[in-house]
Amino acid sequence: MTMSRVLDTQPAAVADKAPPPRALPSGPSPTSGIGQPMAPVFTAMAVLVLTVLSLAFARSTDAVAALWGAGGVAVAVWLRTSRGPLYDMCFAGLMVCGLAAGNLLGGNTKGSTFLFTIANMLDIYVAVLMARRFAPTLNLASVAGCSRFLIAAAIIAPLPAAILVGGTLWFGHGANFFDTAQTWWFGHAISIAVIGSFGLTVTRREIVRLRAPARAAEAVVLLGLLLVATLLIFGMQSLPISFVILPLLLLIAVRLRLLGVTTALVIIAIVAIGGSMMGYGPYSKVFNATDRAMMAQLLVLFGYLPILLVAALLEERDRLSDRAKAGQVRAERASEAKSRLLANVAHEIKSPVGGIIGIGELWRAGQLGATTQTQAEMADMLVKTARQVEALAHDLLDVARAESGAVKVELRPTDVPGVLDDVRRATALRPEAQGIRIDVVSEGDGLVALTDSQRLAQVVSNLTSNAVKYGGAGGVVTLRASRIHDGVRVEVIDRGPGLSPEKQAQLFEPFNRLGLERSTVEGHGIGLALAKRLVELQGGTIGVTSTPGEGAVFWVELPAA
């Protein structure tokens, strides 16, 4: 009786009651197609066929095959479809049946079949355990994940079975332990490293990539060229063109990434090892088939397999690049939203603040009625505070406009010393500049920059105001203009306490007052950020040079007219 019929016979009260939620199994989630319930059955059939083919065409040392694909297929499918302990037991049982049947059909005796089935299952099970332990995400699209899988599942996992087979055949049949264990290890390591990696990289994302006709055609052409080159090199007696394999593999890694490289490695492993065992290729002069197989195995493992790490590195770079682009888009959207908010806030502040200033000035002048001295002082404080808020609103609006590109600059030849002198006179009238000498120094003639004079004056005025407020303890602020190789340099120099490297790195961040929020020095932390935006709009650069205790030099470099 099926489960659906059993459920239909239950009482309505029981049937309507929702079953408790089941926890999802840990491990990799099954993908479309591979994770279907019939996957273990199909895998067992594939293992049977691959076992027969390997024993029929790839035996090289004491009935041990140098080319073994069954293990890689079993490991890849097991890792991709695992659903819990019960599933693992069923999968392992089917693999045992497939391996045993394949060994018997391949001509092995019952004793050999028992030994090789146990050894192959040991290979597969240890590889699955090692992969789950050291590469649990099964993500080969990173250098770390790919390296862990190759080392744990492909290099280390086949060692116990290789020792078991080598020792058993040596003890029972007098076979050479080293040759037998070596051939087993090489063959199974290549199987898991190449075919196992191929099975893990066949994902929905990779398949979607190949749906584009241009990409599919490119894959066919590149893999076809590789197949032809491999056949010419390892399918003939002597054709010295083996140097073309690595460039083709690198090109496939660049263009087709992991799936392309794993497919190419499958092609190379089959043709290179198979052709070498048949007496073709660069190792045809080696008389012993075992030695020829070993040379080909070494070539695949240490000559071509490392390209898989190159493809993993490129995949990792692509992923990081995509994340960086997504982060940049989010940051740009957030910056646009912030600029709109600043512009709206500044615009909404200006009108009521203007009204407050007007009322305060009327109150102070006595036009709203007779005022006492205390009331006049309060009116002065009101007007002063309101003008500070008005200046902040103007700065906020300028910052928002500069970040959104709404600020227009008219670049024209500008006499830089004249701008510095205008700034000096305007700054000297401020109350905070009392007792501070402001000098203007012009080094050389022809100090004409291609800039917007109004915006340059705004920038220099901001830097000079900061020098007076924060570095005025030295008593002197110097505005210097000099010629550089391709422009004009403006420096605002103070003899104040200077800035540490940490504070210099934060200077041009909006609303960052470097810990002076509670000081008596007035400011809002947006002047330097605005100055930076305005200088960049004029094609210049701005920076600071300072040593703690020795003052600071804020500089602006602009192109010469």
One DSSP character per residue, 38-65 reads THHHHHHHHHHHHHHHHHHH-EEETTEE
**Quick one: DSSP state of residue 443?**
E
Give the pLDDT confidence score for residue 36 in this predicted structure: 56
Number of neighbours of residue 199 by Cβ within 10 angstroms: 21
Give the pLDDT confidence score for residue 19 in this predicted structure: 44
Task: Mark out the alpha helices in 520-559 (DSSP H runs).
Answer: 527-537
Give the pLDDT confidence score for residue 61 in this predicted structure: 67
Residue with tokens 């000035």: 361
Give the pLDDT confidence score for residue 192 in this predicted structure: 95
Give the pLDDT confidence score for residue 246 in this predicted structure: 92
Longest dimension (CA), the chain: 123
Give the pLDDT confidence score for residue 522 in this predicted structure: 54
Whole-number Cα distances in Å, 52 to 65, 91, 293? 10, 20, 18
Of 279, 106, 127, 276, give the one whose Cα is nearest residue 196: 127
Give the pLDDT confidence score for residue 145 in this predicted structure: 93
Give the pLDDT confidence score for residue 4 in this predicted structure: 38
8 Å CB contact between 271 and 234:
yes
Strand pairing category for 476-484 and 437-443:
parallel
The dihedral of CA 253, 254, 257, 259: what is its sign?
A: negative
What letter represents residue 47's amino acid? V
Half-sphere exposure for 148 (CA within 13 Å, toward CB) = 18
Of 104, 288, 105, give the one whose Cα is nearest residue 182: 288
Give the pLDDT confidence score for residue 132 in this predicted structure: 94
Burial code (b: 16+ CB inside 10 Å, e: under 16) for 318-341 equals: eeeeeeeeeeeeeeeeeeeeebee
Of 515, 504, 511, give the one whose Cα is nearest residue 542: 504
Instruction: For 302, list phi and psi in degrees, rounded to 5.
Output: -105, -15
Give the pLDDT confidence score for residue 10 in this predicted structure: 39
Give the pLDDT confidence score for residue 524 in this predicted structure: 59
Give the pLDDT confidence score for residue 65 in this predicted structure: 83
Mean pLDDT in runs of 10 for the chain (561 residues)? 37 40 41 60 94 86 80 94 90 95 92 94 96 92 93 95 93 88 92 94 86 91 94 79 88 93 95 88 80 88 93 92 90 76 72 82 80 83 80 72 71 92 89 86 88 90 86 82 89 87 78 53 68 88 88 90 82
pTM of the model: 0.64
Give the pLDDT confidence score for residue 252 in this predicted structure: 95
